[in-house]
Amino acid sequence: MSIGSDTTMTSPSMRPLGETNSFGRLPAFLTVRRNMLLLAGTTLLALMSFTRIWTDEEPLTSSATMGTALRLTVPILLAGLAALFAERCGVLNIGIEGMMILGTWGAGWGAWRWGAWVGLLVGIAFGMLGGLIHAIATVRFNVDQVISGVVMNIFGFFGTRYLSDLVFTGHQGGGVTQSPLQKSGIPKFDTPFLAGGDLFGWKTPDFFGWLEKHHWFLLGDIGGIGKGLTVNLSELTVLAVAMVPLSFWVLWRTRFGLRLRSSGEAPSAAESLGVKVNRLRYAGLLISGGLAGFGGATLSLVASSYYRQGQTEGRGFIGMASVIFGNWRPLGIAGGAAVFGYSDGVKLVAGKSLPALFLFVTLVAGLMIIIGLLRKKMISVIAAAVTGGLFFIAYLEVDEVPESLTHAVPYVATLVVLATATKRLRPPAQAGIKYRPGEGH
């Protein structure tokens, strides 16, 4: 029996998490898990709503903050998906930051010469070039994967600087550190009925905006979040978010995805069943590079209208952290990217509201204390009590967070997430381990 056959794909032991049974219903434990996630999300939103009302800091969940957070989440999300495909096929891709840099430069150049949509394709192609180089080094020549990734980051930075000096210098608005303005931009739109968008020339109602204006408990926050995610929306952002369900479908609903994951879990066993492990790792790294280039392109085309040196600001590394946060699952990666994107958005739009977040963390810590007591986990109770106490003191004593510290908020959030990630994380078994065809069997 070969991997990818119908029997293998439908075997109960190989059925991926979230797949329905033969009657089209989710297993009972998955239904409970889904309900628990919904309850947790609603509880956190209620705590945030209470914090907003108590501190009178409306920007915490305003549409402006959420719209900015969405735009900042997208490149981190795509970087996380890039790391997901690489590690699922068994290769660490430390070079995602460099591939994103290549994507920003390629998109900036392509958009300047031919327009934004061509710029997107060029940015993806440049990212895939980086993925191919990493694949040749690690798969073909078995170079240490960490070293290859670090070299890719260096190559991305200095290579694009050299190309900028070669291509952009001498043109209006261009130079060694940036490209001229793009020839045409990506269209944006307001969603009809949800954010008051146009429908065949008719101005539709703004439902989320109406909710946000009333500032009601919970409903006002839903309005602010909803409008932020549906107003002034770039078509490229919609395409990027669609990569989450598409990635899940490819990895857990196709034969290609099963074989790709097998090359990261048990390459020797997969090869013994006829799977071309090295070929799949090339494919996985090409997809990884393309997604990283896509993420870089969004920075040049949506967050800005031209390429600028240093545009990625370490988002490739934060994307890698989101993979750990999301337990190597597309939806979990989206959640991790949203946490980082929101912290960055608050820093930019509502920097003066940051002390209010100290109260929110205090309330979350209090909730964790209650859960820990119910589960009789005293270590978790003590850790939550210490954290909550420190943040409550900060809330009482700090009136304004210095601007120099606000820039560190996304990176502090990254460290906190990595430090508190669940112990049930399960990375691909052979990710980062060298492999040669014929070994182990």
- Residues 144-181: pLDDT tens digits? 999 999 999 999 999 999 999 999 999 999 999 999 99
Phi-psi label, residue 314: left if phi above 0, alpha if psi -120 to 50, beta otherwise = left
Over range 279-303, report the average pLDDT. 96
Over range 277-282, report the average pLDDT. 95
Longest CA span, the chain: 68
Structure tokens, 243: 């990569």
pLDDT value for 340: 86
Which has more pLDDT, 60 or 349?
60
Residue 180: how many CA atoms within 13 Å on its side-chain side? Answer: 15
Single out the residue of 84, 158, 95 nearest to residue 127, CA to CA: 95
What does CATH list as the number for 57-188+232-349? 1.10.3470
CA–CA separation, 248 vs 77, rounded Å? 14
Tell me, yes or no, if the pTM score tops 0.85.
Answer: yes
Over range 182-193, report the average pLDDT. 92
Asked if 130 and 289 count as a contact pair (C-beta separation under 8 A), the reply is yes
pLDDT value for 355: 87
- The amino acid sitting at 405 is L
CA–CA separation, 333 vs 326, rounded Å? 4
**Has residue 322 got a pLDDT over 60?**
yes
pLDDT grade for 371, boundaries at 50, 70 and 90 = confident
**Has residue 28 got a pLDDT over 70?**
no
pLDDT grade for 37, boundaries at 50, 70 and 90 = confident
As a whole number, the mean pLDDT across the chain is: 87
Q: In the chain, helix, strand, coil percent, each to 5?
A: 70, 0, 30
Single out the residue of 100, 431, 90 nearest to residue 289, CA to CA: 100
pLDDT grade for 421, boundaries at 50, 70 and 90 = low
Least confident of 32-36, 71-75, 348-352, 433-437: 32-36
Structure tokens, 172: 């209006």
pLDDT grade for 7, boundaries at 50, 70 and 90 = very low
Integer angstrom CA distances of residue 233 from 112, 240, 427:
22, 12, 34
Asked if 89 and 429 count as a contact pair (C-beta separation under 8 A), the reply is no
CA–CA separation, 363 vs 43, rounded Å? 11
pLDDT value for 425: 76
Listed by start position, the domains of the chain span 57-188+232-349, 191-221, 351-424
Over the stretch 195-248, which tens digit does the pLDDT of each residue have?
Answer: 999 888 899 999 999 999 999 999 999 999 999 999 999 999 999 999 999 999
**Has residue 436 got a pLDDT over 90?**
no
Strand-strand pairing, 188-189 and 233-234 = antiparallel
Q: Which DSSP state fits 203?
A: E
Asked if 390 and 317 count as a contact pair (C-beta separation under 8 A), the reply is no
Q: For 244-247, which contacts have Cβ atoms below 8 Å and span 24 or more sequence positions?
A: 244/77, 244/81, 244/330, 244/331, 244/333, 244/334, 245/330, 247/81, 247/84, 247/85, 247/330
**Has residue 30 got a pLDDT over 60?**
no
Over range 20-41, report the average pLDDT. 64
Over the stretch 325-361, which tens digit does the pLDDT of each residue have?
Answer: 888 999 989 998 998 889 888 888 877 888 898 899 8
**Has residue 366 got a pLDDT over 60?**
yes
pLDDT grade for 423, boundaries at 50, 70 and 90 = low
CA 87 to chain centre: 15
CA–CA separation, 319 vs 80, rounded Å? 4
Single out the residue of 439, 432, 437 nearest to residue 148, CA to CA: 432
Over range 354-378, report the average pLDDT. 88
Least confident of 264-273, 358-367, 413-422: 413-422
Which residues make Cβ contacts (< 8 Å) with residue 273, sequence separation at least 6? 1, 2, 3
Structure tokens, 358: 């100290």
pLDDT value for 150: 96
